[in-house]
Structure 1
Amino acid sequence: MASLNVGSLGEYIREQRRNAQYSLRQLAEAAGVSNPYLSQIERGLRKPSAEILQQIARALRISAETLYVQAGILDERQEAGLELRAGILADPLINERQKQVLLAIYDSFLKENAAAAPDGPAAAGAVEKAIATAKAVGARAAQMRVPGMGTAKDGSWHGQDEAQDRNQDQAPDQAQDQGPDGAVQTTGD
């Protein structure tokens, strides 16, 4: 865990408070902390807990993770990962299965990168392992019938053109259409 950097944390909170056009008293009330305690945090005299930082972040309408990074509780790479996850989970344009597949792919890459240091002996096989993992996740996605994701018979990735390719391979008396859920439906005469 990184060390607590209270001086710059307090300065950062003060800057965010001023940007939000809050007085010290207004922010303290909105965050549910006392005015003197918030003043001490801003001056770098007190070390707030993660819970207090979360309350302050909520009152300022900023990411709690941003304050955790400023406090040294969380490093920036972890924050980026959390923001990515939050973005995927909040995206209204993809369904729950697609969200889970994207998170699984991301997690598999993180595990591969953590297992193989860039200059270590395992680095040579890391790319091959990542590709194999991505193919396995793609195969699971195809089994889950996630539109636009899957693997061809040779294990290569393919996207939305998959349904069009299959339509062209069909006999003239059969056609395939994508239904409202994205699943391919076969119709005959």
Structure 2
Amino acid sequence: MAVLLREAIGGSLRRARTLRRRTLRDVSRAARVSLGYLSEVERGRKEPSSELLASICEALDIALPDLLAEVIDDMARDSGLEVAGAGRRDTLVPIGQRHADLRLAPVRSGLAAPATPTAPVASVSAAA
């Protein structure tokens, strides 16, 4: 049977907490969540909202993307899949200069160089 996302998130949170030798009570106070609810999240019984997950990660002093990357790796390993680039973090660089183009694109294998800001192209007048 496949591992549920809430179970994988809970397991990763519990590992992070125990590695830091923090108690449920300590983390629940720092994250401003009830001890019982945090326990339910760690056991995979409750699925935390993104705000709550961010608060718990902050209380544990871990980055949310790092937690989610660990969850992905754990779920893939448990299902027998190999995740492309598992254990490797891609570098993100801006791919555009206009506000609408301010998305982030992964740089894979060093093939793309980080974008550098460029000045807008001015029109050339014929009266020079």
Please give the alpha-carbon distance, in whole angstroms, between the structure 2 residues aligned to 1:25 and 1:108. Answer: 39
State the TM-score, normalized to the length of structure 2: 0.56
More helix by proportion, 1 or 2? 1
Please give the alpha-carbon distance, in whole angstroms, between the structure 2 residues aligned to 1:16 and 1:108. Answer: 30
Please give the alpha-carbon distance, in whole angstroms, between the structure 2 residues aligned to 1:13 and 1:109. Answer: 27
Mapped contact 1:27–1:60 kept (Cα < 8 A): yes
- Which letter does structure 2 place at the counterpart of 1:29? R
Mapped contact 2:28–2:38 kept (Cα < 8 A): yes
Identity of aligned residues (%): 28
* Partner in structure 2 of residue 151 of structure 1: none
Is residue 34 from structure 1 mapped to residue 34 from structure 2 by the alignment? yes
Deviation at 1:66, TM superposition (A): 2.6
* Partner in structure 2 of residue 10 of structure 1: 10
Please give the alpha-carbon distance, in whole angstroms, between the structure 2 residues aligned to 1:48 and 1:66. Answer: 17
Within a 5 Å distance, the mapping from 1:112-131 to structure 2 comes to none
* Partner in structure 1 of residue 95 of structure 2: 104
State the TM-score, normalized to the length of structure 1: 0.40
Q: CA RMSD in A?
A: 3.9
Is residue 45 from structure 1 mapped to residue 36 from structure 2 by the alignment? no
Please give the alpha-carbon distance, in whole angstroms, between the structure 2 residues aligned to 1:5 and 1:50. Answer: 13
Please give the alpha-carbon distance, in whole angstroms, between the structure 1 residues aligned to 2:69 and 2:49. Answer: 13
- Partner SS, residue 66 of structure 2: helix
- Which letter does structure 2 place at the counterpart of 1:8? A
Mapped contact 1:41–1:47 kept (Cα < 8 A): yes
**Number of residue-to-residue matches in the alignment:** 96
* Partner in structure 2 of residue 61 of structure 1: 61
Could you report, residue by residue, the CA deviation over 1:142-181 in whole angstroms, capped at 9, with x for unpaired residues? x48xxxxxxxxxxxxxxxxxxxxxxxxxxxxxxxxxxxxx
Deviation at 1:110, TM superposition (A): 4.0
The higher relative CO (CA closer than 8 Å, separation ≥ 6) is in 2
Instruction: Tell me which structure has the larger Cα radius of gyration.
Output: 1
Deviation at 1:108, TM superposition (A): 8.8
- Which letter does structure 1 place at the counterpart of 2:13? I
Structure 2: gaps of 5 or more residues? 73-83, 97-101, 107-111, 121-128
Q: Could you say if the C-alpha distance between residues 49 and 69 of structure 1 is closer, same or farther in structure 2, counting changes exceeding 3 Å?
A: farther
